[in-house]
Amino acid sequence: MKHKFIMLQCLIIILLLTGCRDNTGVKTDKNAIGKCYYVSLSGNDQNIGSITKPWKTLGKINTTDLNPGDTILLEGGALFTGTIFLDSLDSGEESKKVVIGSYGNGRAIIDGANSEGIIVKNCSHFIIRDLIVKGSGRVDAFWS
């Protein structure tokens, strides 16, 4: 129990240093202010997306219109199946980019299986980092 408490404290400190607060879900980066949403296999899509009440699926990300400065963090080491879709409603701004990455230990894995892991269409000012993305790749007809 003591080991888990110490690990939780370390995670909170890391998140505070990287610009996300665990209790409000607000990103407090000097260049951008937006919400910070968490996704974990132990979560629930009915949750608010905070670190203590994370979402569970990529589908929840896809039904959320991201705003400039927002951050989505997927649980490191976890395998998420499906595709993340970013469109014009999810764009950031030059000084307030939308960020998608991992938190915790390791990188989150997005497995698009026979489709794409991430699709970006008519979206700008975003950063995707610290993820492993798998999928068979884009289908040319989809982009025409």
What's the total number of domains in the chain? 1
Q: What is the pLDDT of residue 136?
A: 83
C-beta of residue 44 within 8 angstroms of C-beta of residue 80: no
| Contact between 87 and 121 (Cβ < 8 Å) | yes
Residue 123: give the domain boundaries. Answer: 2-143
What is the phi/psi pair of residue 60, to 5°?
A: -65, -40
pTM, 2 dp: 0.74
> Residues 32-68: pLDDT tens digits?
479 999 999 999 999 999 999 999 999 999 999 999 9
Q: What is the percent of the chain where pLDDT is above 70?
A: 73
**Residue 19: CB atoms within 10 Å:** 19
Integer Cα distance of 14 and 30 in angstroms: 16
